[in-house]
Amino acid sequence: MVDEHSIHSPFFFDFYEKVIRGKKEREEFEDIEQIRRKLLESTMEIDVQDLGASSAYFKNEKRTLSEIAATSISPKKICEFLYRIVRYQQATSVVELGTSAGITTLYLAKNQRAQVTTFEGHRTLGDIATTNFEALESKNIKLVQGNIDTTLPAFLQNPAKINFVLMDANHRYEPTLRYFQLLSRRMAEKGIIIIDDINHSKEMARAWNELKNHDLVYGSVDLYRCGILFFDPALNRQHYTWAL
């Protein structure tokens, strides 16, 4: 494990200081956390139609919304970290695969200059997310509902470049690589892709190890829970393992 004293790259040193160890602006997100608390108290039952890898937490066909909020939505620490990356990049085009109830999406959209396009395959979760977006009057979020295998290629027909991607949908090897191949063609030169749950399973670990060595990837950071892929050629194939 490295720390700031063993980082020789000026870019990665700056990224470490401002993003990994960046200021935790907790008060800024209280409105989103109020929504999270409501989700954690909800007894609403949702039919599970997993389009991604099966969960280790749930074996039944139904889950309560509180169970989903407790186990499937990124914790506050991770959400704040993702917000800091988008802010650091000054990203204007953000893509999220896997909206769930929209908590992470709302964090990403706190960066007002960013237009966030988020994809969700589960109709009920998408509707819940929409309600949450409307509650905070978030104007810079576009939700795309439906099977991501269909909706993502259609979206990427637009040649506009993407600054930031969060892949948190289908936690399997083949879809992870396929979504990456589609998205990598649209990444801006200094774009970033986050792969969530890279240690969720052996196949996700395999996907991560392949993607960090992809020809279009010039740097990576392994944070154990998630991995960061950098597309800036100036980084000269540097790879780090850090604690978040």
In sequence order, what DSSP letters do the residues of 33-75 get, joined into one string? HHHHHHHHH---EEE---SSPPPSS--SSEEEHHHHHHHTSPP
| Encoded tokens for 213 | 């060595």
Q: What domains sit in the chain, N to C, each tagged with a CATH number?
A: 4-241 (3.40.50.150)
Residue whose entry in the numeric block shows the structure tokens 């240690």: 199
Q: What is the chain's pLDDT, residue by residue, as a tens digit (244 residues)?
A: 555 556 778 999 999 999 998 876 666 899 999 999 999 999 999 987 654 444 444 445 788 999 999 988 999 999 999 999 999 999 999 999 999 999 999 999 999 999 999 999 999 999 999 999 999 999 999 999 999 999 999 999 999 999 999 999 989 999 999 999 999 999 999 999 999 999 989 999 999 999 999 999 999 999 999 999 999 999 988 999 998 8
